[in-house]
Amino acid sequence: MPRIKLEIPNFRLDQRSDGYYIIRYQEDGKTKNKSTGTKDPHEAEKARAQFAIDYIKPRLTPEPTISEVVDAYIKHRTGSVASPETLNYVLAAPKRLIGNLKAESFTQSNVAEYIKQRSQEKPQARFAGRYGGRNVSEATINKELRMIRAAFNWAHAERLTERKPEFRIELSSGKVRDEWITKEQANALVRESPSHLALFILLALSTAKRREAILDLKWDDVDLSRPGHEVLHFGEDVGNKKRGSTPIAGNKRLIAALNAAKEKAETDYVIEWRGERVEDVKTALSGAAKRAGIPHLSSHVLKHTAVTWMVQAGVPFERIAKFTNTSKEVIERVYGHHSPSFVQEAIAAVAF
């Protein structure tokens, strides 16, 4: 059986003939040695543990450029975010325009110059499609600079740089999205959808989960065995994307749809089509939306719709936050204006 190649070398202690302990490890296919400088086994073990910790720490040159800091930050975050390619995409423009600057000497005037240059550019299409003639938005530039600042903060926390970032970002982060559909539109959408998409839509509107969490859902994660206690387990969090478990007890429509789908299932995944797992629903959802007369619909709008319906129904923010694995602050900031009590209190306050 072939041995599995480890990303991090194994570090073991060996004692030389002169009594001193050395650390042996593999790097680039070669065996290397590091002296501990001691004959004491306990001190040698301490040296081995410290060497292992230092070995995996990120490294930068004494005066790193912004590109070097950014690349190290991307490498650090790659294993903890849902879509690592997003980091590369967001930070591509900063690396291109200011990547050669020294990170330690980046100032507010550099920020102003970056905003000036970037705001004169046209956005590059990330996937298929065109943006038209508009320039890069303030919200996009704001996001890029915030990511740079996050990289600087990380580097400083890791003691890779001396100075904390002190620049301000005096740009708008963009307006809060407020796209959602009515229940009548939701029913029309389900009617115009093939079976796998209809189930996806029911799950999205019933749980407020993201597309990836729903497409990753397996039948082993669906507990329908105890009537009145049905629950869906969406697994571990991915980066800052919260998943967790969602109760669906009392949702007769969704439970019936899940039971029907399970009887016909050919794969381990809840959302399948013609005997195969569904990787994405973007095209199918767009087609169904057009047939239902709904413009500009995405899976994120379904999530947004589910939370909006809860707020409109007067469900307390704390309960919505717990149900959707989202913070109360986010629910209040993004969806609070849909609350009946918010509207009534605001109208009452300005009545005279």
pLDDT, residue 4, reads: 45
- Residues 190-200: pLDDT tens digits? 999 999 999 99
Query: How confident is residue 2, by pLDDT bands cut at 50, 70 and 90?
Result: very low
| CA-based nearest residue to 237, from 201, 208, 210 | 210
Burial of 81 (0-12, 13-18, 19+ CB in 10 A): middle
Residues 6+ apart with CB under 8 A from 307: 208, 320, 324, 326, 331, 334, 335
Specify the pTM.
Answer: 0.59
Q: Is the pLDDT of residue 273 over 60?
A: yes
Question: Would you list the DSSP string of 197-257?
Answer: HHHHHHHHHHH---HHHHHT-BGGGEE-SSTT--EEE--S-BTTB---EEE-TT-HHHHHH
Report the chain's mean pLDDT, rounded to a whole number: 85
Report the amino acid identity of residue 199: L
Query: How confident is residue 134, by pLDDT bands cut at 50, 70 and 90?
Result: confident
Q: Is the pLDDT of residue 1 over 70?
A: no
- What would you report as the CA-atom Rg of the chain, rounded to the nearest whole angstrom? 26
- Residues 89-120: pLDDT tens digits? 889 999 999 999 998 889 899 999 999 999 99
- Residues 209-255: pLDDT tens digits? 989 899 999 999 999 988 898 999 987 655 445 567 889 999 999 99
Average pLDDT over residues 14-20: 92
pLDDT, residue 3, reads: 46
Q: Cite the DSSP H helix spans in 57-182.
A: 66-77, 84-98, 108-119, 138-157
Distance between first and last Cα of the chain: 82
| 307 vs 321: CA distance, rounded Å | 9
Q: Locate 288 and state its tokens.
A: 């169904």
